[in-house]
Structure 1
């Protein structure tokens, strides 16, 4: 059985950070200061980052199982859990599968369904662009939508560097996983206190998706970051890190 590559730093209660589409473990570079408060466990999903040697599954659940396999190997039974974007879908799946293991959950810049009605482009458009233009150009264009101004700061370059490690197979398999995933019917299985964190300039997931999460997860609250886009953890890392620490404290 092949296991995910990962980065583990810090001390304290384990906080598992699950990255999104075309990402990897280094997408959390600006959150590594949290190591003074938590033991950060940052896996690279199959086909991404340092796990690019693995074939990526085409379902959200299989991605969730891969993260659990890593945690089981590390002997991590209970943990805090945060997922961003596609990673947010995966952590919902994890919290519904084994609710007793997730102490607190953060659904960050994500939604309850894979096929989003108001995404900047359809899944089929993204799929066709990868096939026609290649993953490099597609990656560059998609990552631009993750920022209010992608030319500010180091976030956009970080996304390009991490995205360059991804395989075309993983990029397409993830789109297939979104196409077949609908987590709305299992939101009531999530038992952990949950923070739904969203930014008001997010072009990937709209406010309606956050309200569905809020209604579906019993013990949840919604916090909105103003003036940021999809990757607010890179645009305003100090603010996002403060929100994470306060919720998990």
Structure 2
């Protein structure tokens, strides 16, 4: 699996979400490389892996991640899953907690709540088919920020990360996650978890983050002010401080 790697120390795998890629994490990797071994893969159908056949089930994402971990010789790791990859992290918690040290569910929820999301999944799919991948990615990314006027550079970075997404990869990711629901599946998970969200989050709003936090067996909750779905780009110092503190135990 294509991946970017930087730094040294405890292994932290950074998993991007929909309309994104490993480039989403570039600034965070620069900031944390002195303390952590940071590994950011591109899911097939996204980023540098945009031409590869995509995964179609959450189990495939989990298996692909552990295939990469085995290739890199990682027996255990921290995992940060953003947005769509929050479901991948929940799949890992259910199936392979023995491989996980600590996990961060960032901009994530137990399911895709159609009443809370900035638009329905059907509308995202319709836009993808009618307007194409680039237009659909722009619409999704434009929903990620609390203050659009102050987030010009962050938006540009997100659009750059989204550039490699294929139409097949986008549709497959939606198919894999649209009916995901981990309600009542996580209570026995003992893995330390952090649910991290922005107060202006529109994909999985704070109410969804609170539900996810309550569903986990060993979790903490952090809602960062003045940011949305790309909190590590809007408020990097706050995000990094919280992440460092949690991963340090």
Give the TM-score, by structure 2 length.
0.95
After superposition, residues 144-163 of structure 1 pair within 5 angstroms as: 144-151=142-149, 152-163=151-162
Partner residue of 1:31? 28
Partner residue of 1:8? 5
Q: 1:18, 1:84 within 8 Å by CA — same for their partners in 2? A: yes
Q: 1:109, 1:205 within 8 Å by CA — same for their partners in 2? A: yes
In 2, the alpha carbon distance for the partners of 1:105 and 1:173 equals: 25
Across the aligned residues of Structure 1 and Structure 2, the Cα RMSD in angstroms comes to 1.3
Partner residue of 2:102? 104
Q: 1:235 aligned to 2:234?
A: yes
1:237–1:28: structure 2 CA closer, same or farther, 3 Å change rule?
A: same
Q: 2:19, 2:140 within 8 Å by CA — same for their partners in 1? A: no
In 1, the alpha carbon distance for the partners of 2:53 and 2:171 equals: 11
What is the CA-CA distance between 1:149 and the residue it aligns to?
A: 2.8
After superposition, residues 179-198 of structure 1 pair within 5 angstroms as: 179-198=178-197
In 2, the alpha carbon distance for the partners of 1:215 and 1:237 equals: 26
What is the CA-CA distance between 1:153 and the residue it aligns to?
A: 4.1
What is the CA-CA distance between 1:101 and the residue it aligns to?
A: 1.1
Paired residue secondary structure (2:98)? helix
Which is further off, 17-26 or 56-65?
A: 56-65
Which digits, 9 at most, give the CA deviation of each residue in 1:88-120, with x for residues without a partner?
A: 111111122111111111111100113442101
Q: 1:59, 1:180 within 8 Å by CA — same for their partners in 2? A: no
Which is further off, 178-187 or 38-47?
A: 178-187
Q: Which runs of 5+ in 1 are unaligned?
A: none
Which is further off, 61-70 or 205-214?
A: 205-214
Q: Which runs of 5+ in 2 are unaligned?
A: none
In 1, the alpha carbon distance for the partners of 2:178 and 2:227 equals: 27
Partner residue of 2:171? 172
In 1, the alpha carbon distance for the partners of 2:91 and 2:247 equals: 20
Q: 2:206, 2:223 within 8 Å by CA — same for their partners in 1? A: no
Which digits, 9 at most, give the CA deviation of each residue in 1:124-175, with x for residues without a partner?
A: 0100111011111111111111012334342111111121111000111111
Which is further off, 151-160 or 29-38?
A: 151-160
1:68–1:41: structure 2 CA closer, same or farther, 3 Å change rule?
A: same
Which is further off, 50-59 or 198-207?
A: 50-59
In 1, the alpha carbon distance for the partners of 2:217 and 2:37 equals: 27
In 2, the alpha carbon distance for the partners of 1:114 and 1:61 equals: 17
In 2, the alpha carbon distance for the partners of 1:199 and 1:39 equals: 25
